[in-house]
Amino acid sequence: MADIAFSSVEKIVKIGLKIKEAADTVRRNEEECQEIQKVVVRVSAILSQLQQTKMMKGPAVDGALIGLEETLDRALKLVVECQEGHIVGRFFTAGGMSKELRRVQDDISQKMMLALFAINVQATIILTNIQSDGAHRLPSQQQALAYQMAENVIGKGGFSNVYKGVLNEELVVAIKKFIIEDDLGSMDFICYNWQKLQHKNIVKFLGYEFQLDCSSFFRIIKGIAQALHFLHEQRIIHRDVKPTNVLLDNDMNPKLADFGIATVLQETEEWDTRVIGDINYIDPVYMTTGRLSTKSDVYNFGVTLLKTVRGMCRSKQPLDDTTPPVKWAWEVHQDGQLKDLFDPSFCDESQLKEMKRFLVIGLLCTEYEQHDRPTMWDVLEMLDGKKEMPAPTERIRFT
């Protein structure tokens, strides 16, 4: 399977070089051909980088790459038609050719996102299989019976308390509850590394549960939105908004951190030939075209919001963690099943309405086209219920 992907990437890169050369010598529809050239060069660079990983395998990845290859081949034929010495009217009128070139550019972006979606799913499956060999998240706090009662305390430290608990009504366990949680991703980091330490003289890690109540969640999300709105007023793009870059103080107030790849905008948007950021949160328009704006942060925020909403679901129904959060949220929104995913004892009716509002806002933030996404000021207004929310579009969602 990996050989098919390797072969497809090689063909895609070769077609990309031909498109680049042809676009440099066109005499008609020059603007459209150069836009295709930009997208194709970026696609080739991204796939060449990903080719070095083990994620480029599986029938879904193979099929997506073959589809992309076919679309690029069609783009090459159109660009060649625009070179001097070819008659534009041979297959299309001048206006028809312009529309066809824009259509094939959109098709390239769509096929590229399908390929990235397939690669991302493959990566998630690999990580899930790794984690399944070690620790698992505890399905419910109730499985450790009354462990936080004072008489069950068996140890205390500067950052945590240790309690005696009973797991699944039979196994006596020690439960460590952290008093200070540095960031939204630190617990996953601790769990992932601890579970790999298998030794007879080292405490075996059985599982974890991250506790975040609805009120704290609402405050955290609004705090992140306020931070991004402030940055955007200063014409600064963070570019790496995700849970692990949000720190929490003792009162659960969020602090946006890690400005290592932040950018100050000189214009309303800029172009960046590099691919920087976490592929699980990155703006697909920036990924495929290099176009960077404050709406790129809005997309990051939307994925973060939806991923956190999914992580807070406490229903007995198992969640498919291999489904990307944006696709998961769209399916939940379409089916109207969000209520069934939350434990009534955890989320009351008014809080459930807020969750539904947050889900829709997350979908609006992750619209494919940048101009269809709200600004962070719009997001704040919608979070507070001061602005009416439009209906999310039905465009395919990948992240």
Which positions ≥6 away from 307 have C-beta within 8 Å? 243, 325
Q: Which residue has the tokens 């950018």?
A: 263
Q: Residue 200 annotated as binding?
A: no
Sort residue 253 into left (φ over 0), alpha (ψ -120 to 50) or beta: beta
Q: The dihedral of CA 139, 141, 146, 150: what is its sign?
A: positive
User: Interior CA angle at 280 toward 387 and 327, to 5°?
Assistant: 60
Q: Among 171, 210, 226, which residue's Cα sits nearest to residue 308?
A: 210
**Residue 140 in contact with residue 123, Cβ under 8 Å?**
no
**Residue 227 in contact with residue 380, Cβ under 8 Å?**
no
The DSSP bridge partners found for residue 136 are 207
- Characterize the bridge pairing of strands 136-137 and 153-156: unpaired
**Alpha-carbon gap, residue 24 to 94, rounded angstroms:** 19
Phi, psi dihedral angles at 174 (to 5 degrees): -100, 130
Reply yes or no on whether 240 is catalytic: yes
Q: Among 48, 186, 64, 194, which residue's Cα sits nearest to residue 122?
A: 64
From 183, 240, 283, 378, active-site residue: 240
**Alpha-carbon gap, residue 389 to 279, rounded angstroms:** 27
**Residue 48 in contact with residue 13, Cβ under 8 Å?**
yes
**Residue 216 in contact with residue 248, Cβ under 8 Å?**
no
Please report, in range form, the residues annotated as the binding site for ATP. Answer: 177
Binding annotation: 177
- Residues marked as catalytic: 240
